[in-house]
Amino acid sequence: MKTIVSTIAALFLVLFILTTFVPYPPARSAALNAGFTDADIDTGLQLAYERRFFAWATIALELGILCAFALSGLGRRWADRLLEWTGERRIPAALGMGLTIAVVHEILWLPIGIARLNHAWAWDTYNLDFVGWLIDHAKSSALSLVMGAIAVTGLYTVLIKFPRTWWLVAAVGASVLGVAAAFLAPILINPLFNTFTPLGDTPWRDHEPRVQALIAKAQIPVQEILVVDGSRQSNHSNAYFTGFGATRRIVLYDTLFKRQYTPDEIESILAHEIGHWREDHINKGLLLGTLAAIAGFFLLDRILRFAIGRAPWRLKSIADPASLPLILLLMFLGSWVVQPVANAVSRHFERQADEVSLELAGQPKAFIDTELKLARDNKGNVAPTPWNVWLFATHPPTVERIRMAREWEKSTKGTKDTK
């Protein structure tokens, strides 16, 4: 067991060093070539570098807690205690196990969270005061607890009722939960943190006719274009497409209007979100997630069976609450294996949405200006190393998106010239 723990620790240490300290000089010349200044590049690199310490401290903490519970016998002893208290009822005991891990994590994470908050204030990337931050954090923690409780109850119910085929039932259940979460997020969850207003009811309603014209051109049934008061938390500018079925909507940050993005630039951003809609990216993402869940739960079934009777888990069955820390650890490690693939898919979707944006809005200059402006406003890292992109990036690097727009511009000019 010690070899397993040291192998995991060594792997993550290598990843931390690689992603934090190893530079990639060619990224700078590419960013300069795209139109960024040395100052833009240095700001983005420095902020990304400093943020990584908070991210990796969080990763180390989570890994430490999960290894302590899953690989040392502590999980077994604590599960026995919980089973005793709950009269051998496995679902309440599993919920107790999950709650224990969540509480330990919350207490130990809080100093990292507060340090990160101070860092964000120092960089002027966060607008709420301490109380505001604490309330938002308490809300999201409560939300995680509720969703975690639903997941644990569902998983152990399935493990108890379908000991042979649980992995298939759980995958179907997880995708139903995924659809429910996608459907409910924009109407139940997001409004807990921000206010959403139809564009026509905001001070920026002048944009409405152009927005409607673009939607008509794209021929998609957009019910709602909403503006979110993102400036409550930060000056970060963004837009996104969310929801499922009847709750699908496009959300624009108020910062886009407050920071004087031109109508052409807002159109370029909106056209990108319409691209996600037209290419059906939410449904495709849910489908891929379901396939991954089937494979993941199947693999988990094999490992849980291996852990029956074996130290340090000494599981009595796969539905033993002592299995929860092991399940959480395997999910944590599994997400590191799956993430590069999932991110590659996400970057592919983003490229498709960019192509739609260029075709629909037909304004490569506005597209490029928007990319430059967004990166500067958000103090984004415009010279990331290829391995950081590969591991973490859900979007193609800004420089790549600008290059794509330039190439698109050249190719369309080319076709016009030959006509």
To the nearest whole angstrom, how small is the minimum distance from the Cβ of residue 281 to Zn ion? 8
Q: In what order do the strands lie in the sheet with 239-242?
A: 196-198, 225-228, 249-253, 239-242
Q: Which is nearer to Zn ion, 174 or 353 (CB)?
A: 353
- State how far the Cα of 90 lies from the Cα of 97, in Å rounded to an integer: 10
Dihedral of alpha carbons 324, 140, 131, 96, sign: negative
Amino acid at 83: L
To the nearest whole angstrom, how small is the minimum distance from the Cβ of residue 272 to Zn ion? 6
Binding span for Zn ion by CB under 5 A among 137-145, 261-269, 313-321, 346-354: 346-354
Alpha helices in 240-385 (DSSP H): 254-258, 263-278, 281-307, 324-361, 364-377
Q: Which is nearer to Zn ion, 86 or 394 (CB)?
A: 394
To the nearest whole angstrom, how small is the minimum distance from the Cβ of residue 202 to Zn ion? 22
- State how far the Cα of 327 lies from the Cα of 333, in Å rounded to an integer: 10
Number of residues that bind Zn ion (CB under 5 A): 2
Per-position x/- string for 295-334, each x denoting binding to Zn ion as judged by CB under 5 A, each - no binding: ----------------------------------------
For the segment 353-392, give every residue that binds Zn ion (CB under 5 A): 353
Residue 273 buriedness (CB in 10 A; 0-12 / 13-18 / 19+): buried
- State how far the Cα of 176 lies from the Cα of 93, in Å rounded to an integer: 25
To the nearest whole angstrom, how small is the minimum distance from the Cβ of residue 353 to Zn ion? 5
Q: Which is nearer to Zn ion, 124 or 359 (CB)?
A: 359
Q: Which is nearer to Zn ion, 301 or 350 (CB)?
A: 350
To the nearest whole angstrom, how small is the minimum distance from the Cβ of residue 316 to Zn ion? 47
- State how far the Cα of 286 lies from the Cα of 410, in Å rounded to an integer: 36
Phi-psi region of 92 (alpha: psi -120 to 50; beta: other; left: phi over 0): alpha
- Facing residues of 228 across strands? 196, 253
To the nearest whole angstrom, how small is the minimum distance from the Cβ of residue 125 to Zn ion? 21
To the nearest whole angstrom, how small is the minimum distance from the Cβ of residue 127 to Zn ion? 24
Among candidate residues 246, 199, 190, 256, the one with its CA nearest the CA of residue 223: 246
Q: Which is nearer to Zn ion, 133 or 349 (CB)?
A: 349
Q: Which is nearer to Zn ion, 19 or 363 (CB)?
A: 363
Binding span for Zn ion by CB under 5 A among 44-52, 123-131, 211-219, 350-358: 350-358
Q: Which is nearer to Zn ion, 272 or 376 (CB)?
A: 272
> Could you tell me whether strands 239-242 and 196-198 are parallel, antiparallel, or unpaired per DSSP bridges?
unpaired
Q: Which two tokens stand for residue 319?
A: 């539905």
Binding span for Zn ion by CB under 5 A among 47-55, 94-102, 131-139, 345-353: 345-353
Q: Which is nearer to Zn ion, 273 or 320 (CB)?
A: 273
To the nearest whole angstrom, how small is the minimum distance from the Cβ of residue 231 to Zn ion? 20
Binding span for Zn ion by CB under 5 A among 63-71, 219-227, 253-261, 352-360: 352-360
Where do contacts with Zn ion occur on this chain (CB under 5 A)? 350, 353
